[in-house]
Amino acid sequence: MASTDKILEASAKYPKPAERQFQYGTAGFRMKANLLNSVVYRVGLLAALRSKKLNGQTIGVMITASHNPPEDNGVKLVDPMGEMLEASWEQYATQLANAESDDALGKLYNKLLADLKIKEDVPARVIYARDTRASGATLVTCLKDALDATGTEYTDYGYLTTPQLHYLVRCINTKDTQYAYGDISEKGYYEKLAAAFKLAMKGKTTKGAVTVDCANGVGGPKLHELVKHLDGIIDIKIVNDDVLKPETLNSQCGADFVKTQQRAPPSSKVGPNDRCASLDGDADRIIFYFADKDNTFRLLDGDRIATLAASFLADLGRQSGLAEQLKIGVVQTAYANGASTQYIEKSLQLPIICTNTGVKYLHHAAARFDIGVYFEANGHGTVLFSPAALKAIATYDPKSPAQKAALETLQALTELINQTVGDALSDLLLVEAILAHKGWTCQEWLLTYTDLPNRLVKVEVPDRNMFQAVDAERKLAKPDGAQKEIDREVGKFSMGRSFARASGTEDAVRVYAEAATRTEADGLANQVANIVRGFGTVVGGT
């Protein structure tokens, strides 16, 4: 049995809050920052175990709570290829976080070593970073204590966006291999994106400036850095980039505010046809919007980015002569607007996979295509190229100048797009490059299809776990009879669609509804929310 003396000694500083149960969810652990010390310490232990299990490959630890309010924080692990932690390990994170005493923690640590056949003498390597939240410094101390106690080699990358940390993890683990991903530095990230963007633009220009709201988070300073590498070929105006007042983070601004409120941040002056975008607090989500000529707010969300990217990539596939080798597919969740789904199937004639909510599900499904485009409606997503697709794009011998031009753009896009995880900065440049190629304004982008009016409602119930969803979360298997009632309501509305599912990140059930008109969408959402409330109350007993 391994000696856990050092682990227990350090752990004594970070007792688990009594009567708290933690769960490594779709976005790692996320909650009020003052509850997280023990959780982050234990995630540090798991990072060490994960690295040892994978023969000393480097694991990433990101301290962030993304779009949550400033007083929250969170922590998530990054696997060697820059992907999210393998799902089967989430339970170990949950078990470690919930060990009630130091003694129980030590026993569990040894049990994991034994059960997972981890060799203790293999080195452990970890890199970590954080967003701009005030609580980040304390949590970094907890993490470092765990890494010291386990003899882990580590590097602190300070403040980074979540996707930048994913990028670095992949660069480190692919260094000196044929899959080398880029220079292992923050500068390397900007250089890679900027070089690819310049190639992708091919001397084309975007129409007017794009104004980017950075949610007063880490995306602000990082976008300023990126702009320095772009040589002025695109006009980016940066707003809400104040990281010195942590209380302003995600407050009345940012991608989540704009998406859920369906309006621009009150601080933004959005003039007719101004192209605007908002990032979230750790810059892994982006959505676009503008005001049309009647000054009506128009949202261009993750579904729009997915359709724009899929149509452009399909065009490039055809133009380069590689259509056969590059089968493109789109991955969505039940939250995708029905009009986008129809547009992809009918107009773009591309296959769609619908998965559970949570980017890890979309990411895995996207890997089934040669080019898999995945986005959640909230703006989190990217494009994955399979190894075979990358090879075809890199080695194909073009048969005409037109094929050559399309191929070069494809090659640039494989470098521009962050293939580890959704990345707001990379997605920003991707959208700008596509709009430049198409010569489109936001209005023209919007015209591709008309969104069905929709409404998302959060319903608080005593026990969200009684709501069990099936069929990519589009139907409720439990409580008995609930789905039948939802179906009956949906049937009353023209072009109606609605579903309810338990949130993976909040103690609530989310109800989504869309229908032919705004009034109907609101009405349907309210009816279904009432059904959920009714079932929740009866069985929950409060």
From residue 334, give the alpha-carbon distance in Å to each of 352, 464, 476, 516. 12, 18, 13, 17
Q: 254 a known binding residue?
A: no
Output the smallest distance, CB 337 to ligand NG1, in A: 12
Binding residue (CB under 6 A) for ligand NG1 from 152, 357, 409, 527: 357
Closer residue to ligand NG1, CB minimum distance, 128 or 499:
499
Output the smallest distance, CB 440 to Zn ion, in A: 27
Closer residue to Zn ion, CB minimum distance, 218 or 532:
218
> Distance between CA atoms of 15 and 164, rounded to whole angstroms?
31
Q: 153 a known binding residue?
A: no
Within 8 A by CB and 6+ apart from 257, the residues are 215, 250, 265, 278
Binding mask 167-206 for ligand NG1 (x = CB under 6 A): ----------------------------------------
Could you say whether residue 280 binds Zn ion (CB under 5 A)? yes
Q: 501 a known binding residue?
A: yes
Segment interacting with ligand NG1 (CB under 6 A) among 111-119, 140-148, 387-395, 503-511: 503-511
Segment interacting with Zn ion (CB under 5 A) among 119-127, 242-250, 279-287, 471-479: 279-287
Could you say whether residue 423 binds Zn ion (CB under 5 A)? no
Binding residue (CB under 6 A) for ligand NG1 from 490, 506, 522, 526: 506
Tokens 């026990």 belong to which residue?
463
The torsion angles phi and psi of 295, rounded to 5 degrees, stand at 65, 25
> Which of ligand NG1, Zn ion, none binds 282 (CB below 5-8 Å, type-dependent)?
Zn ion
Closer residue to Zn ion, CB minimum distance, 40 or 524:
40
First to last CA, the chain: 48
Q: 378 a known binding residue?
A: yes
Q: What angle do CA 224, 229, 234 make, to 5 degrees?
A: 80
Q: Which of 213, 242, 238, 240 is nearest to 226 (CA)?
A: 238
Q: 368 a known binding residue?
A: no
| Strands laid side by side in the 371-375 sheet | 352-355, 328-333, 371-375, 381-385
Distance of CA 167 to the CA centre of its chain: 14
Q: 377 a known binding residue?
A: yes
Binding mask 65-104 for ligand NG1 (x = CB under 6 A): -x--------------------------------------
Q: Is 333 helix (H, G, I), strand (E, B) or coil?
A: strand
> Which of Zn ion, ligand NG1, none binds 27 (CB below 5-8 Å, type-dependent)?
ligand NG1
The DSSP code sequence of 57-123 is -EEEEEE--TTS-TTEEEEEEE-TTSPBPPGGGHHHHHHHHH--SHHHHHHHHHHHHHHTT--TTS-
Q: 510 a known binding residue?
A: yes
Length of the chain: 542
Binding residue (CB under 6 A) for ligand NG1 from 443, 503, 526, 530: 503
β-sheet bridge partners, residue 512? 456, 499
> Distance between CA atoms of 315 and 183, rounded to whole angstroms?
31
> Distance between CA atoms of 334 and 368, rounded to whole angstroms?
19
Q: Does the N-terminal peptide bond of residue 479 adopt cis geometry, omega within 30 degrees of 0? A: yes
Segment interacting with ligand NG1 (CB under 6 A) among 230-238, 293-301, 376-384, 434-442: 376-384
The torsion angles phi and psi of 471, rounded to 5 degrees, stand at 55, 60
By CB under 6 A, how many residues form the interface with ligand NG1?
14
Segment interacting with ligand NG1 (CB under 6 A) among 42-50, 69-77, 492-500, 501-509: 501-509
Per-residue tokens: 199: 């190639």
From residue 440, give the alpha-carbon distance in Å to each of 190, 272, 404, 433. 26, 15, 23, 10
> Which of Zn ion, ligand NG1, none binds 284 (CB below 5-8 Å, type-dependent)?
Zn ion
Binding residue (CB under 6 A) for ligand NG1 from 249, 505, 523, 524: 505
User: Catalytic site residue 347?
Assistant: no
Q: Which of 452, 285, 313 is nearest to 383 (CA)?
A: 313
Segment interacting with Zn ion (CB under 5 A) among 61-69, 184-192, 444-452, 508-516: 61-69
Q: 503 a known binding residue?
A: yes
> Which of Zn ion, ligand NG1, none binds 280 (CB below 5-8 Å, type-dependent)?
Zn ion
Catalytic residue selected from 66, 320, 386, 498: 66
541 burial via Cβ count (<10 Å: 0-12, 13-18, 19+): exposed
Helix, strand, coil % (nearest 5) of the chain?
45, 20, 40
Residue 364 CB neighbour total at 10 angstroms: 18
Could you say whether residue 335 binds ligand NG1 (CB under 6 A)? yes
> Distance between CA atoms of 2 and 107, rounded to whole angstroms?
10
Closer residue to ligand NG1, CB minimum distance, 301 or 370:
301
Closer residue to ligand NG1, CB minimum distance, 197 or 467:
467
Segment interacting with ligand NG1 (CB under 6 A) among 73-81, 91-99, 373-381, 436-444: 373-381
Q: Are 528 and 520 in contact (CB under 8 A)?
A: no
From residue 500, give the alpha-carbon distance in Å to each of 230, 293, 360, 539. 44, 36, 20, 17
Residue list 284-323, contact with Zn ion (CB under 5 A): 284
Q: Are 382 and 426 in contact (CB under 8 A)?
A: yes
Binding residue (CB under 6 A) for ligand NG1 from 130, 144, 497, 510: 510
Binding mask 472-491 for ligand NG1 (x = CB under 6 A): --------------------
Question: Which positions touch ligand NG1 (CB under 6 A)?
Answer: 26-27, 66, 335, 357-358, 376, 378, 380, 503-506, 510
Question: Which positions touch Zn ion (CB under 5 A)?
Answer: 66, 280, 282, 284
Residues catalogued as catalytic: 66
Output the known binding site for substrate: 376-378, 501-505, 510
